[in-house]
Chain A
């Protein structure tokens, strides 16, 4: 079983739609959870960071962590063509999780104008 599972997509939505991106993980020791956005031919950049369970909102983006289900989500409201990118979930930390960050394979998102 992979430590992190993420649907690679691609996911295609019309402009203005609500987008839901998800990851599941197997290591219950993970304590911090992140979403990175990667535009084509660029390096990943941090989009959202959450420590432990709960929700975090930043503008049109909301990150949710459900540690009981080992499930994390990223919601994008009012999606824009500029949101078209690959979104990678990442997690790590905590006893047994060491310091290394584990990345999902990424979900490709296309937002059509």
Chain B
């Protein structure tokens, strides 16, 4: 199993450009997540999905969009990039969520994005 894979690893965008961050998992997990990690700020949830066709906003969704057409893929779209979106983006997946069941999240290696 490759686990959670993300592309690209690095990207520099100009203000106002758009891009899609790709995320794929091969563990047949139903839950998938997008986080951003800023220095000293921990992981902030951008969007999450509980299954194909179902997505919802997290803590910091503004400026981003997601879709989930398959169990495996969960791309994150940045529209009109702004310097405030400079961050490291992590995709994660889990088998179940909350309650008594384990909520172990498996993370991808991250995408480092700089907006200039």
Contact = CB atoms under 8 A, between A and B. Distances in A.
A8 B43 CA distance: 13
B107 A104 contact: no
Q: Which label, helix, strand, loop or mixed, suits the secondary structure of the B interface? A: loop
Contacts of A31: 100
B42 interface: yes
Contacts of B42: 4, 6, 88, 103-106
B97 interface: yes
Contacts of A105: 40-42
Contacts of A101: 103, 105
Contacts of B106: 46
Given A44-B90, A49-B104, A97 B109 contact: no
A24 B90 CA distance: 24
B55 to A, nearest CB: 14
Nearest to A2: B42
B58 interface: yes
Interface string A12-25: 00000000000000
Given A42-B109, A42-B110, A44-B90, A98 B43 contact: no
B98 A98 contact: yes
Given A99-B97, A100-B58, A43 B43 contact: no
Contacts of B98: 92-94, 97-100
B108 A92 contact: no
A92 B110 contact: no
A41 B97 CA distance: 26
A92 B106 CA distance: 16
29 contacts: A4-B42, A32-B102, A32-B103, A34-B103, A34-B104, A41-B110, A43-B90, A43-B92, A43-B109, A43-B110, A46-B106, A49-B102, A49-B104, A88-B42, A88-B43, A92-B98, A93-B98, A98-B98, A99-B97, A99-B99, A99-B103, A100-B45, A100-B48, A100-B58, A100-B98, A103-B42, A104-B42, A105-B42, A106-B42
